[in-house]
A and B are shown apart, each in its own frame.
Chain A
């Protein structure tokens, strides 16, 4: 069974540009969550989608947005990139939101974004 697939794995952008990251969940999983990981900050929740609807959003500026398609694939977009947006962006999927409330999520390998 294929895991969570994230593309691209690595990318470099410059300040002011925008970026789109893609996530394909495990087959059959309908919930997709996004996290940002920076050194010393652990993982910080960005947002979650289920059945094409955003169900929860973290404390990030409006430059961070996402969407989910009918096949459960998800994308996140960051506009007007800042140096501080350099991070590993992780996507996680589960059968139902939050793993039926247990918090058990299946993570992809992440997309490492570097902003110069």
Chain B
């Protein structure tokens, strides 16, 4: 039972354009949603998060939008750069496991930004 889903395994965009990565969840009992980025041969690194009580959070070129009624969140990268090419994981922190290290991850989306 996949509670967090990233339905697009891959995405390719042109440098300078917007990248939109999507994530759907099936459980309303999440406190935080997060995005992690992973380069080959490295561990995931935290990118940006959003509290379940917010709709939007912005950090430089990265913006995360949360649509609670649709149980959907998205990560926007504007403008996209070749260095953004990586695997992006959506993750959620369950309320029943709050204040623990347990996160529910999606399967990941591989972003390729072409120069």
* Chain A residues in the interface with B (C-beta under 8 A): 4, 31-33, 35, 40-45, 48, 55-56, 58, 90, 92, 94, 96-110
Contact = CB atoms under 8 A, between A and B. Distances in A.
Contact of A33 (B45, B101, B104, B106): B101
Interface stretch (B12-20, B59-67, B71-79, B90-98): B90-98
Interface string B12-46: 00000000000000000001101010000111111
Contact of B32 (A31, A101, A107, A108): A101
Interface magnitude class on chain B: 20 to 34
B100 interface: yes
Contact of B49 (A41, A58, A102, A110): A102
Contact of B101 (A31, A42, A44): A31
A58 B102 contact: yes
Contact of B93 (A41, A43, A98): A98
B49 A4 contact: no
Contacts of B31: 101, 103
A97 B43 contact: no
B32, B34, B43, B44: residue with the most chain A Cβ atoms closer than 10 Å = B43
B43 A90 contact: yes
Contacts of A92: 43, 101
A103 B49 contact: yes
Given A43-B89, A90-B43, A108-B43, A103 B108 contact: no
Given A42-B107, A43-B105, A45-B103, A110 B43 contact: yes
B43 A103 contact: no
Contact of A56 (B4, B34, B101, B107): B101
B99 interface: yes
